[in-house]
């Protein structure tokens, strides 16, 4: 019996990321975007400003934040802050409120990826850093702004990733953080609904940024991982396309947005697909070989002896 084509099966599944809220007019609204000095955040800041919003550009890189703010002219306001610094983010949000008198939109976009590593050999500091930026940084960004968002009946976006429901080998801190951000955003939407405000989760696939090129394209093992990714995991989008997805979601007050669109059906069917996918990956000799070579690369750095993998061929 021939198995049904996965692409055709997924294409027939609807995705219901639609809000019943009226459209959110961005004209003269005030938006806060973290990680806005480069990549997706920079493109999003430009889009929101073009659609009429005034944008607080927050980035750990002061020069990048100021550069983007200058590009936005009177609609931009640059601030330097580290999302892992709770007091610093509280002060930054207060400064935005002081400058503009209100906050309508918050986009917790700042994020990092760790160096590729298995859980056994990763540097614990890398794990802690990813969680601090990608998860705790979202909390530090969102919480101090919530009273203002509720006051204006505004909207919050937390940037998760399709990695939240994709296999996480060799990059588990990132996948773990993004899965947690998804749950944070879901809880936030329900909680804000009682106050007349809204929130959404943005799921992004592989985005063409400097971070992606460094992780997947400029590294020999990373390129092999990229070549192994099946559809739709291998679909890439530009930072501009990612930003358009988020900006459109803000206007629609969407509970969730997905880019590229090919991920939508996978997201709905992940409970079934991931059981099968995880089982296949545990049996994939090519993937095992790649993980073995990664551990051999990491072993000298971690001062660990790693024996080459030996497979039992006579197990029944």
Condensed to tens digits (0 to 9), the pLDDT of residues 298-312 reads 888 766 655 554 443
DSSP 136: I
Structure confidence by residue, pLDDT tens digits, 79-115? 999 999 999 999 999 999 999 999 999 999 999 999 8
Q: What are the tokens at 233?
A: 């995991």
Look at residue 174 and tell me whether its pLDDT is greater than 50.
Answer: yes
Is 177 or 233 the better-scoring residue by pLDDT?
Answer: 177
- Give the containing element (helix H, strand E) for 91: helix 86-100
Catalytic site positions: 174
| Residue 119 half-sphere exposure toward CB, CA atoms < 13 A | 7
What is the mean pLDDT of the segment spanning 182-188?
Answer: 98
pTM of the model: 0.87
Instruction: Report the percent of the chain where pLDDT is more than 90.
Output: 62
What is the mean pLDDT of the segment spanning 196-224?
Answer: 78
Structure confidence by residue, pLDDT tens digits, 37-56? 999 999 999 999 999 999 99
| Residue 221 half-sphere exposure toward CB, CA atoms < 13 A | 20
Provide Rg for the chain, Cα atoms: 21
């Amino acid at each position: 019996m021939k198995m049904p084509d996965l692409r055709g099966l997924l294409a027939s599944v609807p995705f219901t990321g639609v809000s019943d809220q009226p459209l959110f007019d961005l004209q003269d609204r005030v938006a806060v975007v973290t990680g806005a000095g480069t990549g997706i955040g920079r493109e999003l800041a430009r889009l929101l400003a073009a659609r009429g919003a005034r944008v607080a550009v927050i980035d750990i890189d002061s020069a990048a934040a100021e550069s983007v703010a200058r590009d936005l002219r009177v609609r931009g306001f640059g601030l330097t802050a580290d999302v892992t610094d709770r007091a610093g983010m509280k002060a930054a949000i207060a400064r935005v409120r002081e400058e503009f008198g209100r906050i309508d939109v918050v986009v917790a976009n700042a994020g990092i990826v760790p160096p590729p590593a298995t859980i056994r050999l990763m540097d614990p500091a890398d794990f802690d850093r990813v969680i601090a930026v990608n998860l705790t940084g979202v909390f530090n960004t969102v919480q101090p702004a919530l009273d203002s968002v509720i006051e204006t009946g505004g909207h919050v976006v937390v940037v998760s990733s399709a990695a939240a429901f994709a296999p996480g080998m060799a990059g588990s801190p990132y996948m773990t953080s993004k899965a947690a951000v998804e749950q944070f955003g879901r809880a936030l939407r329900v909680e804000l609904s009682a106050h007349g405000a809204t929130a959404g989760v943005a799921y992004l696939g592989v985005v063409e940024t400097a971070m992606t090129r460094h992780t997947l394209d400029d590294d020999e093992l990373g390129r092999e991982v990229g070549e192994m990714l099946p559809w739709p995991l291998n679909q890439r989008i530009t930072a501009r396309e990612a930003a358009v997805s988020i900006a459109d979601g803000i206007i629609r007050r969407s509970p969730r947005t997905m880019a590229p669109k090919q991920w939508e059906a996978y997201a709905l069917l992940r409970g079934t697909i991931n059981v099968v996918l995880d089982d296949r990956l545990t049996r994939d000799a090519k993937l095992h070989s790649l993980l073995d070579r990664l551990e051999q690369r990491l072993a000298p750095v971690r001062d660990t002896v790693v024996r080459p993998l030996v497979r039992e061929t006579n197990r029944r």
